Amino acid sequence: MPPAPKKPAIKKAPATVRKPVARKPAARKKKSKSIPIEWKLALIAVLLVLLSPLYYGYILKGFVGTWRWIKDWGQDPNYRTYESFNIKIPKQYTIHGIDVSYYQGKINWAKVKTMKEDEVSIRFAFIKATEGLLLVDPYFQRNWREAPKAGILCGAYHFFRPKKDGKAQAKFFLQVVNIEKGDLPPVVDIESLDGVSPLKMRAELSDFLNYVEMKTKVRPIIYTGLKFHEDYLDGHFEDYPLWVAHYYQPKLKLDKSRWKFWQHSDKAKINGIGHVVDFNAFNGDSLALDNMLVK
């Protein structure tokens, strides 16, 4: 048999030679410069100031003051809006108060007492007690008890009906109200003629005033509207303290020596009271108010 053919020899590929990889030299860390201790302390001090609530209170106060100044630009500086009370208040008076009746409903007197904006707060309250010969305000006893507990000076008032006997109304009023030391003087509220003549109205009113003063040894306050006073009371009852209603005005158009209290708004919003309230200013300082109290 012929010899088998020889298989061709397989040539091996030459081995590839790997070149050594050149390594990058490690980056050198930069040395951080240390902050001087004085700068650190200064930075901490600045942060403490910025994070302090006192700082923000000061800034906020300044911002509010500036905004109010801009808002009130061109308005009477003595008669500006107090946002929390939602009314304008004459600035030249320092003692303020309210008057209430059943219309205001159940009152939280503690909230009334603590309400304050700038220097305006509630110092006194006149509380309706009676009307005519038969009506007792359903909230009188509660208000008369709770308001003084909150630290508010109080006075009681009677809504006068000229058609009814003045002396009988005075007796009825004093049966309901126990006037004590430290109270404001009692008040008679006269707002209309009720169909009688001015002469008859003044006669019955005089009987009421004389009887209350005789029994309490305190001269009552007369409450009325400015127009009613001009039409029917001017020149009469000059020796009695006067409380006048005259709304939404920067000034009461009546000789300042004639009146003690000014009801200048009937739509104030007061914390602790669910309805709008009459707002009043006292014509005098704290000493003058103290001198008016029942001794």
Name the residue type at position 188.
Answer: V
SS3 187: strand
SS3 282: strand
Q: Say what the pLDDT of residue 32 is.
A: 54
State which H helix or E strand residue 245 sits in.
Answer: strand 242-245
Mean pLDDT of 125-150: 98
Q: Rounded distance, CA 158 to CA 154, Å?
A: 14
Name the pLDDT band for 48 (thresholds 50, 70, 90): confident
CA 45 to chain centre: 38
Within 10 angstroms of residue 199's Cβ, the number of other Cβ atoms is 8
Cβ distance 250 to 91 under 8 Å?
Answer: no
Question: What are phi and psi for residue 96, nearest 5 degrees?
Answer: -125, 155
Name the pLDDT band for 77 (thresholds 50, 70, 90): confident
Cβ distance 131 to 93 under 8 Å?
Answer: no
Ranges of beta strands (E only) in 37-171 are: 79-82, 87-90, 96-100, 116-117, 120-131, 135-136, 153-159
More confident residue, 242 or 4: 242
- Catalytic-labelled residue, pool 99, 137, 204, 278: 99
Neighbour-count burial of 291, counting CB atoms closer than 10 A to its CB (0-12 exposed, 13-18 middle, 19+ buried): exposed
Lowest mean pLDDT among 15-24, 123-132, 201-210, 240-249: 15-24
Is 74's pLDDT higher than 90? no
Q: Say what the pLDDT of residue 78 is.
A: 84
Contacts of 252 (CB under 8 A, 6+ apart): 226, 244, 246, 259, 262, 264
The model carries a pTM of: 0.76
As a whole number, the mean pLDDT across the chain is 87
Is 99 one of the catalytic residues? yes
State which H helix or E strand residue 46 sits in.
Answer: helix 37-51
Cβ distance 184 to 148 under 8 Å?
Answer: no
Q: How far is CA 152 from CA 138, 144, 274, in A?
A: 20, 10, 18
- Catalytic-labelled residue, pool 191, 230, 231, 234: 191
Q: Say what the pLDDT of residue 47 is.
A: 75
Is 22's pLDDT higher than 80? no
The dihedral formed by the CA atoms of 93, 105, 136 and 132, expressed in degrees to the nearest 10: 60
Residue of 153, 169, 170, 180 lying closest to 261 (CA atoms): 153
